Amino acid sequence: ILAAPGDLFETDQGSSTIFKFTPVGAKSTFATGLGGPFGLAVDGFGNVFEANFNTGTIFKFTPAGVKSTFASGLNGPVALAFDTSGNLFATEGAGGTIVKFTPAGVKSTFASGLNGPVALAFDASGNLFEADHGSNKIFKFTPAGVKTTFASGLHGPFGLAFHAGTLFESDTGSGTIIKFTAAGVKSTFASGLNTPTGLAFDASGNLFEADQASGTIFKFTPAGAKSTFASGLNEPSGLAFEPPTAQLVNISTRASVKTGAGVTIGGFIVTGTASKQVVVRGLGPTLGQPPFNVPNVLADPTLNLHDSTSSIATNDNWRDTQQAAIQATGLAPPNDAESAILITLQPGNYTAILAGKNGTTGVGLVEVYDINAGVFAELTNVSTRGFVGTGDNVMIGGFITQGGNGSTQVLVRGLGPTLAQSGISGVLADPFLRLFDGNGNVLYTNNNWKDTQQAAIQATGLAPPNDLEAAILVTVAAGHYTAILSGNGGGTGIGLVEIYKLR
């Protein structure tokens, strides 16, 4: 049974089965003969991963349903979640630990000493949240593993899911779904449920809840209106959606921010038929702190956002305006001197200009986050112009693709000589590109784009105009990627790094 975007998977503990539901509710059997199936997660290629509690195993199913063992010898695996680098996190409910698997299956311990960890969810900043059933708490872990208590005094927390920066939690003991703002403010989303367990959001923001004792999956609209999606199940537990085609949900560029033509200019394109809500951030001081420790950072970043005709929003310090709304997204800059703009954009071309206040300079970062990836609009291109130096002053373009029944094809370009045609002086004479995955592995390098992939790059219609410029055409799974633009042989100058999502 081939899985398709929008399909809902459900683990049926009582029948040891995984069922698949189409968006209109048509049910089919995806896998049988399991032993205590609990949590589900779907990777960037549309493969379904299932935590098999009784056998201590994590099984992997292709979209066609072909089964293999991904990991074994676990101590009661319950919950699964992928980070943006493709690493799989799993809770060992009987062992009180969270373990981490690289895409190659290499295992390490992320956290220990927990009391019945049964649910996992990542926020947009890469923090991992864990429902600790035995202690009635939700713990928060930074990407480095630093643990804090996010919420306490719950009644059997069992499911977690994020939507637009808000964390939803199923409380089995009280029969409620509780939601928390990014600041931890708690409110009740739904009540009167019968042992709510797994939670999952579809692309339209509807929340699906596995009601274990009643054998039902309920659907809640964003406004909280409840309906029955499926019934007659046998102890439903885990839920996971087959994501839509992978989208760019975060694009960012780090560069040495100068003055005049050397300010950092980040362009991006919104395509589709609907509006798109984004957070644009300009960071500086944060880059000087661990784990980055970048010297000579931009002390006081400012942002100026333009559409195709004029400036549409500006910001110096993010708390000056929109403080509560930005905090609610979970993407507030760490430093008060940094900039952020929360805005809803129509399809079109946009430019974010990152500069230092009063003409100051330093290393800065401009970012665009898509905070409602499910709508019929997406980010398809980022192009950032700025000064390319050496060492910490090279230009670093990052992008995150999320979801995906399959993979995403992107073209990364590094330009320099072409910019001189626009009257820019001091351009990067010979750009050099390197592309890394989220674990820091070099995927591809390129100096002159005609050296490799010439025909394929020309077929995209986006071949660089100058033979000395660089380009990489690559198909990637959902995850986190970094393109580093430098000068061949240590050259410096004004350069442009671009990332195009082709399909």
| DSSP code string of 431-449 | EEEEEE-TTS-EEEEESSG
Single out the residue of 119, 150, 146, 148 nearest to residue 132, CA to CA. Answer: 119
* In contact, 329 and 164? CB cutoff 8 Å: yes
167-211 confidence digits (pLDDT tens):
999 999 999 999 999 999 999 999 999 999 999 998 788 999 999
Say what the pLDDT of residue 1 is.
54
Q: Tokens 């800059």 map to which residue?
A: 333
The ranges of the chain with pLDDT < 70 are: 1-3, 44-45, 244-246, 373-377, 402-407, 503
143-154 confidence digits (pLDDT tens):
999 999 999 999
Domain residue spans of the chain: 8-241, 247-501
Cα dist from 71 to 31, 54, 58, 105, whole Å: 18, 14, 5, 7
* In contact, 342 and 333? CB cutoff 8 Å: no
Say what the pLDDT of residue 85 is.
74
Q: Which ranges in 202-336 belong to alpha helices (H)?
A: 323-328
CATH fold group of domain 8-241: Neuraminidase (2.120.10)
* In contact, 483 and 378? CB cutoff 8 Å: no
Say what the pLDDT of residue 204 is.
81
Single out the residue of 415, 447, 446, 410 nearest to residue 428, CA to CA. Answer: 415
